[in-house]
Amino acid sequence: MKINQDILQKYREGTCTAEELDALKVYFEQNKLDDFQLILLDDWNEIDEIQSIPKETSARMWDRLNQSIPADQIESKIVPLSWYKWRRIAAAALIVVVALSAFWLYNIWNTPPILVEFNPSKDENRRVELQDGSVVWLGPGSSLRFQKGFSKKARAIELSGEAFFQVKKDQSRPFSVSAEGIRTTALGTSFRVKAKNNSPEVRVALITGSVMVQSEKNTLQQASYFLTPGKQFVLLKGSNNPKVESVDNQLVLDLRDGKLVFEDAPLKHVLLQLKAIYHVDIDFKSKMINDCIVNTSFPKNEPVKNILTVLAFANSLEVTQPSKNHFNLLGQGCSN
């Protein structure tokens, strides 16, 4: 069935037969909508002459309509547009504009923010430059998560593991790091956050500037803790009473530079970590090293034998090497 102006007019009036509706469905699916322009032309020709708008305006509107309809479908006729019809067309146009604007705003407001993640391997230190100019040094096996470009009012970071932050100053958008339920907020400074899942504590160490440390669930004895350079916040997980104590700034900077850093670490944990990193066997008696605490750092590629020699000397121990990948720690050690 051929689609003509009469069928389109019946469709508009709701008087189409079932056969005509089926033909129109096929017509619509082919996306051939030029004939709807004929309906618009028909409406134009039916406009009454009551309260007509100025002739010049009517002519301009007719010219625009003229440009959108094939020449063989146009009857050269200019009819003054009544005020009533003009209002009806203007209202319809306004509805379309408002609907499109609402659709655009809905998509803008309801489009979820793009999240950026960095997940270096367990053996990799990674330097990450953020869009605001801040720089982050991620420790091995750590991860960083934040909204791309940040928001207009804040720069919020989620951290799992250990990282050093050098923050670009922006007083209109505070920089905050959330890790293990602790939020550290700064405007422009450099600090370290250490919050590993398998660690019994959370640490925040400040190098320059100032930071504010808070519990995200208000579970600490104080609402806020303010740090000065050379100080660190230390919270034992499960406790509500953190300590603020001095920190070795060099160890914090060594972490940033990718060195192997041990800070207030029990010697037993250090030896287990060295076994995992270097894939060697290290035998020792737990009793002799129970009270040994390590605060030092080593270059990333330092041979394990050199590290063990330094640790042994500092803790009254002796290193032997029965085979290439096997070491023994002997001596009295730090046990009481």
Q: How confident is the model at residue 22, as a pLDDT?
A: 73
Average pLDDT over all residues of the chain: 79
In contact, 325 and 279? CB cutoff 8 Å? yes
How many angstroms from the chain centroid is the CA of residue 311? Answer: 41
Please tell me the pTM assigned to this model. 0.62
Residue pLDDT, tens place only, 1-30: 666 667 766 765 667 777 777 776 666 656
**Which of the two residues, 78 and 13, has the higher pLDDT score?**
13
Q: Please, are residues 214 and 223 in contact by the beta-carbon 8 Å criterion?
A: yes
Token pair of 235 as six digits: 């919270």
* pLDDT at residue 60 in the model: 52
Q: What is the pLDDT of residue 84?
A: 52
Task: Tell me what the mean pLDDT of segment 241-260 comes to.
Answer: 91
Fold adopted by 115-255:
Jelly Rolls (2.60.120)
Q: Say if residue 153's pLDDT is above 50.
A: yes
Query: Could you give the angle at the alpha carbon of 210 between the alpha carbons of 236 and 208, nearest 5°?
Result: 100
* Residues of each domain in the chain carrying CATH 3.55.50.30: 259-330
Q: Spell out the residues 6+ positions from residue 213 whose beta carbon is closer than 8 angstroms to its own.
A: 182, 183, 184, 185, 204, 224, 225, 226, 227, 233, 242
State how beta strands 143-147 and 115-118 pair. antiparallel
Mean pLDDT, range 232-259, rounded to an integer? 92
Region 119-147: mean pLDDT is 89
Instruction: Please state the rounded mean pLDDT for residues 41-45.
Output: 45
pLDDT given for residue 216 in this prediction? 93
pLDDT per residue as tens digits for the range 260-301 = 889 888 999 999 989 988 999 999 988 888 889 999 999 988
pLDDT for position 319:
95
Looking at residue 144, its amino acid is L
User: What does the block give as tokens for 153?
Assistant: 């009012």
Residue 79 pLDDT? 47
Q: Give the residues across from 195 on adjacent strands.
A: 161
Nearest residue to 192 (alpha-carbon basis) of 218, 211, 171:
211
The ranges of the chain annotated as CATH 2.60.120.1440 are 115-255
Q: State residue 54's pLDDT score.
A: 52
**Which residue's entry shows tokens 């997940």?**
119
pLDDT over threshold 60, residue 69: no
Using one digit for the tens of pLDDT, what is the confidence trace for 159-195?
999 999 999 999 899 999 999 999 999 978 999 999 9
* Percent of all residues in the chain with a pLDDT value above 90, rounded to a whole number: 47
Q: What is the pLDDT of residue 122?
A: 77
Band of the pLDDT at 82, cuts 50, 70, 90? low
What is the topology classification, in CATH, of domain 259-330? Phage tail protein beta-alpha-beta fold (3.55.50)
pLDDT the model gives residue 310:
95
**Gap between the Cα atoms of 275 and 8, Å rounded:** 82
Q: Which residue do the tokens 């509107």 mark?
A: 61
Answer with the residue of higher pLDDT: 48 or 240. Answer: 240
Q: What is the mean pLDDT of residues 27-53?
A: 48
Q: How many helices (H) and strands (E) does the chain have?
A: 8, 18
Q: Tell me the percentage of the chain whose pLDDT exceeds 70.
A: 69
Span 294-326, pLDDT tens digits: 999 999 889 999 999 999 999 999 999 999 999
Decide if pLDDT at 239 tops 90: yes
- Asked whether residue 132 carries a pLDDT value surpassing 90, the answer given is yes
